[in-house]
């Protein structure tokens, strides 16, 4: 990192941090959910956006829990936020690789994003988490995460059942455990660094690309089940769920999604174990008819939480296997094989300490993706290609966070790649090493 780049980062993030501290004195526990419920952020979150057992119940019951008795909220529970950031990679990216004309290295993004939220009751038993985003890198506005719910409650014998409907635009964004992709660690990352060449479709590739309707039930605080159907958000009734997003994964027909999870909560502890998945037919990029590719994703996830008065510990893990049938891509000469597979594994442990001066802590995470060799699908390309024809990528993330007040976070994140797109050295065929993509990411995140 150049001295000039580091100096710029320190000045920009320092000023942002000062603004955060000043703004936070007026923003304690006032984002949408806090405005509506009258409760502090610690009721729903360990460290935002990770949910507590109460936060999971709040989401499952449709975001409608309120200190008021009226069937609607007035004034509406609206909030906003933003992230400013600095990114440095081990080696500058080649010209033309860094997105949206960003610098090859030492990128300061002010802002990286600005968000607006409507999060709470709409009417009676219907509520929503709706996020609109201005992307400061691409300089575009878009509809971001959307989860609109109807929820109700019933007694079944000696047990209880929470049941409902969800309309959302990302399979797993409606999930209440942070071990599935929608709201999993890392919660924020740089958008101006080289990306691994492959990932399962359920790992955010369909985010904002589709819209769907799901039916769910949570029996006796123990068993959760959900089924949902998605379609492309390029056109038709789901188009508004992808507004502002370039649709790169055009679905051929309906995408079924399923989710089953078991949860146990006792005293200060909670544990969950589950499975989730989908089957998606996706047209090769640029194609709207003819042969498509089929992706079958099956995931297994687990989460453990301990929430004490001062100490918080969370562990989360997920493994995803994807079977690929690439009839469409093979016919176009974009894949050397008709079939293949990907396996992704992620695990992280988080520890935080709540003190009178704020919350401090961090995360250690490991990630790995391995897959079938395909020299056409995974071809050499500057910084983001594969010399070996393999998508294998793995490494670690170390993150330290300081939260001086509610809904304010100062983070230092460092990502270490031990393998990138199939190799440790010369992975792209042009001499770049996996460690050249090691990323220092500094950011300040404020919601008010």
Q: What is the mean pLDDT of the chain?
A: 89
> Which residues, at least 6 apart from 402, have a Cβ–Cβ distance to it below 8 Å?
358, 359, 360, 409, 410, 411
Q: Is the pLDDT of residue 12 over 90?
A: no
What CATH number labels 3-447? 2.40.160
Least confident of 164-168, 321-325, 394-398, 406-410: 406-410
CA–CA gap between residue 376 and residue 390 (Å, rounded) = 10
Q: Is the pLDDT of residue 61 over 70?
A: yes
What share of the chain has pLDDT > 70, as a percent? 90
Percent of the chain that is helix, strand, coil (3-state, to 5): 15, 45, 40
The residue ranges of every structural domain in the chain are 3-447
Q: Is the pLDDT of residue 405 over 70?
A: yes
Most confident of 137-146, 208-217, 283-292, 350-359: 208-217
Q: Is the pLDDT of residue 83 over 50?
A: yes
In this structure, the strands spanning 393-403 and 255-266 are unpaired
Q: Please, which pLDDT band fits residue 300 given cuts at 50, 70 and 90?
A: very high
Of 260, 245, 255, 48, the C-alpha closest to 175 is: 260
Predicted local confidence at residue 5, as pLDDT: 56
Q: Is the pLDDT of residue 174 over 90?
A: yes
Q: Is the pLDDT of residue 310 over 80?
A: yes
Number of neighbours of residue 273 by Cβ within 10 angstroms: 16
Residue reference for tokens 């959900």? 226
Q: Is the pLDDT of residue 379 over 70?
A: yes
Q: Is the pLDDT of residue 9 over 60?
A: no
- Residue 192, CA distances (Å) to 104, 204, 439 in order: 9, 17, 10
Q: Please, which pLDDT band fits residue 19 given cuts at 50, 70 and 90?
A: very low
Model pLDDT for residues 190-216, shown as the tens digit of each residue: 988 999 999 999 998 999 999 999 999
Predicted local confidence at residue 183, as pLDDT: 93
Predicted local confidence at residue 1, as pLDDT: 57
């Amino acid at each position: 990192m150049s001295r000039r780049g580091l100096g710029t980062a320190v000045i920009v993030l320092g000023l942002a941090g000062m603004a955060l501290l000043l703004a936070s004195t007026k923003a304690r526990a006032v984002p949408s959910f806090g405005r509506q419920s009258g409760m502090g952020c610690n009721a729903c979150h360990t460290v935002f956006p990770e949910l507590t057992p109460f936060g999971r119940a709040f989401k499952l019951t449709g975001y409608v829990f309120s200190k008021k008795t009226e069937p609607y909220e007035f004034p509406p529970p609206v909030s906003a936020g933003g992230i400013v950031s600095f990114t440095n990679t081990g080696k500058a990216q080649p010209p033309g690789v860094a997105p949206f004309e960003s610098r090859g290295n030492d990128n300061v993004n002010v802002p990286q994003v600005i968000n607006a939220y409507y999060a709470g009751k709409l009417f009676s038993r219907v509520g929503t988490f709706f996020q609109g985003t201005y992307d400061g890198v691409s300089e575009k506005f878009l509809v971001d995460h959307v989860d609109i719910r109807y929820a109700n409650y019933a007694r079944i014998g000696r047990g209880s059942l929470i049941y409902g409907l969800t309309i959302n635009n990302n399979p797993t964004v409606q999930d209440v455990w942070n071990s599935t992709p929608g709201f999993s660690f890392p919660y924020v990352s740089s958008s101006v660094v080289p990306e691994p060449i492959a990932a399962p479709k359920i790992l955010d590739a369909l985010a904002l690309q589709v819209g769907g309707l799901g039916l769910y039930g949570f029996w006796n605080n123990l068993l959760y089940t959900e089924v949902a159907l998605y379609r492309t958000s390029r056109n038709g009734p789901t188009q508004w769920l992808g507004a502002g997003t370039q649709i790169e994964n055009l679905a051929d027909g309906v995408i079924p999604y399923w989710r089953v999870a078991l949860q146990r909560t006792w005293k200060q502890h909670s544990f969950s174990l589950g499975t989730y998945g989908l089957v998606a037919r996706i047209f090769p990029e640029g194609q709207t008819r003819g042969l498509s590719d089929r992706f079958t994703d099956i995931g297994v996830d687990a989460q453990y939480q301990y929430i004490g008065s001062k100490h918080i510990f969370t562990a989360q893990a997920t493994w995803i296997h994807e079977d690929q049938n690439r009839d469409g891509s093979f016919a176009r000469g974009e894949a050397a094989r008709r079939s293949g597979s990907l396996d992704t594994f992620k695990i992280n442990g988080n520890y935080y300490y709540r003190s009178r001066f704020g919350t401090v802590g961090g995360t250690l995470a490991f990630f790995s993706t391995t897959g079938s060799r395909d020299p056409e699908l995974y071809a050499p390309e500057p910084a983001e290609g594969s010399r070996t024809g393999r998508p294998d990528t793995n490494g670690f993330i170390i993150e330290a966070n300081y939260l001086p007040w509610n809904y304010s976070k100062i983070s230092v994140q460092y990502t270490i790649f031990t393998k990138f797109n199939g190799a440790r050295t010369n992975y792209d065929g042009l001499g770049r090493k996996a460690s050249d993509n090691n990323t220092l990411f500094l950011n300040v995140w404020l919601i008010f």
